[in-house]
Each structure stands twice: as structure tokens, then as C-alpha cells.
């Protein structure tokens, strides 16, 4: 069988993720694998229609498609998003219809599930028959057990194609046509305070709903609002995964991106991101912005800040995107002030939501409020904490930040808690004490909480 491999890494042949595909190639010599470096060659694809068409010609003749990429900031690298945009822009979706597809990714298992959900749903939108992908930890290829899993996964994928087996659809295709938002005349809030909000957007002139939402927010927000269009930022390219920034948080690119982050975004009291949903995410320009933000490493540099989103598009139909947006804020230890979309027929209602959002941002700033942590933040923190601790030699800047801010919060460092558990362990070894212990366990658990309530 003939496979088209869409490699999204900017590293080309030296991609670590691609080595998993090379391992498959070696063990299945009966199949043909044509590798297209859409990550490294995205500018060539954008500028050369002949080159893009040559890729599509091979895809059209293929029996299956394998997406191969490292997970970048919850999803795929920005060139993969751009490639998907180009498919739509050039109206080439039909070439992918009825093709079998799957994905191979590498990561530290930080939100790899959202990356797989994204590419899975895109494939279904293109009319493809998608089989759940293979999410590897970066060093899994060095382990015999994981190599066996990879070969079994591959064999199963090839068998699905050979037998033409049916595949269940997982995601519903959203409708991107939103009701027109007509806010009418909006009077600007007088006497704005000195708190500063940076509103980042990729809005184009034709994004009328999004532009209207931004204008209304500017008028109704009680804070000073600076609008920065990321399409106007000098970004020479996407993250190339060079890891040079891990030493001192300095990006290899010498363009305008780091200046915008350091001089405008980080000093702000709050950040609002205004974007239009496109291909189940935001634009590839937004993804480039997110990926390039990695020059700050795994450090939660936005801790304590207020974050919010103005979204034009069917967010209610794309749960994966909502989770990505919320997780980005929570992993950064910031506060999610809210999300407002234009999914409603009632323009007055949208305007009232925008007004409330501005008030909530100001309240969060004044009260220094951050919502309690949940799994989105706790799970992400634990993965990063362990990664930075194990890789302290390479992730120098991260390690120094984590050490300074006491982020290496391992349970074994809590001596009091360990001694308490030792006491329980010894007590519960004795059947008589164990029986009595569980009789009073419920009441004992809430005793400290009752004391707090009684005290206040």
C-alpha cells in the first residue's frame, strides 16, 4: 500500500517524531511511504502552487495518510495549521475524502490529547476515515515495550485499510456562520481607571463581528485598553524547536515578537485575546504566536494576571478548543475572567456580556483574584515540574525560575504529612484499631474544617 506522510516538524529529516515513522518503514517494507515535510517547507508550499499540487497528487494516489508531528502548545505546530488553511483556501478538500488517516505524535504527554482531538476532528471534516493516533513520550522509541506497541498500532492501521473496515465518526462538523452582531450606538465608559489591558487580535477588515466586539469592549471596559494586531507584529517565522531559549529565555529570532511580549503583554494587568475560529482552532497566525511564546519556556510568567477571550465562531460546538483556551490560562496560573462569543442571535445580550467581562477583569485585578486550581492546571504543572527537574541541565532558565518560586512542590518534601501517614500506617496494621478508626473516620476528617468555621 501507498502511504503519504505529512511531517509537521520544522526540523525536517532530523525530527525526533519522524524516527517513529522510520521505525515503521523498516518493519513494513512491503508498503511505500512518501514523506512530505509540510513543517519545514510551509513557506515553499505557500508560495509555490506547483509544489503544493505535487503533494496533493501523491495524496490522491495514496491508500492512507499519516500525520507526524511533535505536540506544540496543546496542538500541532503552526505550519500544520497553515497547511490545513491552504487546503481550504484552495478548495482541495475533496482530495482527502474517504482516505484512511491516523497520527503519530511525540511529547511529554502535556495536553497531547487535545492535539489528537484536533487533528482527528480536522480529518473528519475533510471526509477522512480516521483511526485513533499513537501518542508517544519523546523517548518511547528507546523502550522495547513501546516499540512493540508502535508496530501493533501500525499493523492495525494497515489492516483497516486493506479490509476497508468502517470507522465511527467522533466529532460533529461545526457551522462557522454566525449571526450578525449589531451592537448599535455604544457610549464609552467615562473616567476609566489606570489599569492596563492589552487586547491581542488577528482581526482582518472582513471580520466584522470580531471587530465590532473589540470596539464595544474598548468602549465599555473600565480599564485602559491597548489593541495589538498580531498580524502586524514582525514575526519572521514559527518556532523551529532549536531549544536555544532554554538557557536564558532568549529567542533565536531577532524580530519584533519578544519586544511585544516583554514590553507590552507582560507588564499589563490583564490580557484579552480576540480571535475568529478557523478550522477548529484560531488562525495559523495565532498558532505561530502561541508557539513562539515558548521562548519563555515552562515558566508561568503570567501568574496572577487576568485573562479573557472574545471569540467569533462556534465555540459551543468545539469543546476541545474551549479546553485549550481554558488550559492555557490555568497552566499559566492566571485567572480566567471569562469568554464571550458571538453565537447568539441577540446582539444586546452579547453587548451586555462584553460589558460584564470588562467589569470582571477589573474586579479580578483589584481583588488580585485567581480561581482555585483544577486538573487542567494541576496536571499540567506536575508534568512541567517533573520535566524541568529531570532536565535541569538543559532547561536552565526554567530550573532557576522553578527553584526561585518554590515550584518543585513534591509530596515527599512535606515532612508533617509523611509522619501523619506513617502513624496511620502503623495504627491500621492492628485489626482492632483499624475497625474503630473507620467508625470515626468521617467525623474526624471534617473536625479541622468545623474549627475553621466556628472560628469565623
**75-95 b/e with 16+ CB inside 10 Å = b?**
bbbbbbbbbbbbbeeeebeeb
pTM of the prediction? 0.94
- Residue 422 half-sphere exposure, CB side, CA atoms within 13 Å? 7
- Say if residues 67 and 273 touch (Cβ distance below 8 Å): no
- Cβ atoms 324, 410 nearer than 8 A: no
* CATH class of the domain defined by 2-163: alpha beta
For residue 279, give the nearest of 23, 36, 66, 75 by alpha carbon: 75
Please state, in angstroms and rounded to a whole number, the distance separating the CA atoms of residues 415 and 399: 23
With a CB cutoff of 8 Å and minimum separation 6, the contacts of 98 are 127, 128, 129
Tell me the C-alpha distance between 40 and 28, whole Å. Answer: 26
C-alpha span between 229 and 262 (Å, rounded): 16
Calculate the CA dihedral of residues 264, 297, 318, 382 and round it to 10 degrees. -130
Query: 103 - beta bridge partners?
Result: 67
- CB of 183 closer than 8 Å to CB of 219: no
Rounded Cα gap, residues 280 and 121, in angstroms: 8
Place of cell 453565537: 343
CATH fold, domain 196-367, is: Rossmann fold (3.40.50)
Spell out, as residue ranges, where the chain has pLDDT lower than 70.
none
Q: C-alpha angle 378/295/292, rounded to 5°?
A: 95
Q: Across the beta sheet with 270-276, what order do the strands follow?
A: 224-229, 196-201, 270-276, 306-312, 335-341
C-alpha cell at 278: 478557523
pLDDT score for 416: 87
The vertex-232 CA angle with 231 and 236, nearest 5°, equals 80
pLDDT in tens, 405-435: 999 999 888 888 888 888 888 888 988 888 8
pLDDT on residue 433 = 86
pLDDT of residue 3: 98
CA distance 53 to 76: 22
Spatial neighbors of 171 by CB under 8 A, at least 6 apart, are 117, 120, 121, 124, 125
Give the separation between CA 421 and CA 395, rounded to whole angstroms: 34
All structural domains of the chain with their residue ranges: 2-163, 196-367, 412-455
Structure confidence by residue, pLDDT tens digits, 30-79: 999 999 999 999 999 998 889 999 999 999 999 999 999 999 999 999 99
Q: Which residues have CB under 8 Å from 42's CB, separation 6+?
A: 79, 82, 83, 238
Q: Got the DSSP string for 12-48?
A: GGG-HHHHHHHHHHHH-TTSEEEEE-TTTTHHHHHH-
Residue 140, all three cell numbers: 518511547
pLDDT at 153: 98
Chain CA centroid to CA 10, Å: 18
Angle between helices 16-27 and 144-163 (to 10 degrees): 60
Amino acid at each position: 500500500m501507498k502511504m503519504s506522510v505529512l511531517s509537521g516538524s520544522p526540523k525536517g529529516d532530523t525530527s525526533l517524531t519522524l524516527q517513529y515513522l522510520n521505525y515503521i518503514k523498516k518493519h513494513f517494507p512491503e508498503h511505500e511511504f512518501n514523506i512530505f515535510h509540510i513543517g519545514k517547507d510551509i513557506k515553499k508550499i505557500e508560495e509555490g502552487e506547483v509544489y503544493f499540487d505535487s503533494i496533493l497528487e501523491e495524496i490522491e494516489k495514496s491508500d492512507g495518510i499519516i500525520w507526524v508531528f511533535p505536540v506544540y502548545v496543546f496542538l500541532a505546530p503552526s505550519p500544520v495549521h497553515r497547511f490545513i488553511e491552504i487546503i481550504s483556501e484552495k478548495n482541495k478538500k475533496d482530495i482527502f475524502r474517504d482516505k484512511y488517516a491516523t497520527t503519530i505524535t511525540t511529547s511529554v504527554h502535556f495536553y497531547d490529547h487535545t492535539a489528537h482531538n484536533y487533528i482527528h476532528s480536522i480529518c473528519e471534516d475533510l471526509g477522512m476515515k480516521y483511526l485513533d493516533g499513537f501518542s508517544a513520550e519523546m523517548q518511547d522509541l528507546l523502550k522495547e515495550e513501546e516499540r512493540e506497541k508502535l508496530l501493533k498500532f501500525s499493523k492495525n492501521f494497515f489492516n483497516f485499510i486493506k479490509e476497508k473496515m468502517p470507522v465511527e465518526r467522533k466529532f460533529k462538523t461545526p457551522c462557522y456562520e454566525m449571526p450578525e452582531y449589531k451592537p448599535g450606538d455604544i457610549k464609552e465608559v467615562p473616567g476609566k481607571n489606570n489599569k492596563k489591558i492589552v487586547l491581542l487580535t488577528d482581526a482582518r477588515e472582513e471580520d466584522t463581528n470580531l471587530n465590532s466586539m473589540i470596539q464595544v469592549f474598548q468602549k465599555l471596559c473600565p480599564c485602559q485598553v491597548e489593541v495589538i494586531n498580531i498580524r502586524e507584529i514582525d514575526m519572521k517565522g514559527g518556532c523551529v524547536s532549536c531549544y536555544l531559549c532554554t538557557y536564558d529565555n532568549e529567542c533565536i529570532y531577532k524580530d519584533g515578537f519578544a519586544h511585544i511580549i516583554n514590553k507590552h503583554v507582560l507588564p499589563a494587568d490583564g490580557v484579552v485575546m480576540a480571535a475568529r475560529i478557523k478550522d477548529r482552532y484560531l488562525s495559523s497566525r495565532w498558532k505561530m504566536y502561541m508557539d513562539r511564546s515558548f521562548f519563555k519556556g515552562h515558566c508561568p510568567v503570567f501568574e496572577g494576571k487576568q485573562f479573557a477571550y472574545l471569540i467569533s465562531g462556534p465555540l459551543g460546538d468545539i469543546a476541545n478548543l474551549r479546553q485549550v483556551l481554558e488550559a492555557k490560562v490555568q497552566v499559566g496560573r492566571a485567572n480566567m475572567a471569562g469568554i464571550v462569543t458571538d453565537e447568539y442571535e441577540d446582539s444586546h445580550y452579547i453587548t451586555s456580556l462584553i460589558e460584564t467581562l470588562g467589569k470582571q477583569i477589573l474586579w479580578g485585578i483589584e481583588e488580585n483574584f485567581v480561581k482555585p486550581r483544577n486538573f487542567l492546571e494541576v496536571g499540567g504543572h506536575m508534568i512541567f515540574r517533573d520535566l524541568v527537574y529531570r532536565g535541569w541541565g538543559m532547561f536552565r532558565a526554567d530550573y532557576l525560575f522553578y527553584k526561585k518560586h518554590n515550584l518543585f512542590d513534591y509530596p515527599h518534601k512535606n515532612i508533617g504529612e509523611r509522619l501523619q501517614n506513617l502513624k496511620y500506617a502503623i495504627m491500621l496494621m492492628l485489626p482492632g484499631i483499624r475497625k474503630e478508626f473507620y467508625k470515626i473516620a468521617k467525623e474526624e476528617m471534617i473536625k479541622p474544617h468545623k474549627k475553621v468555621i466556628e472560628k469565623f
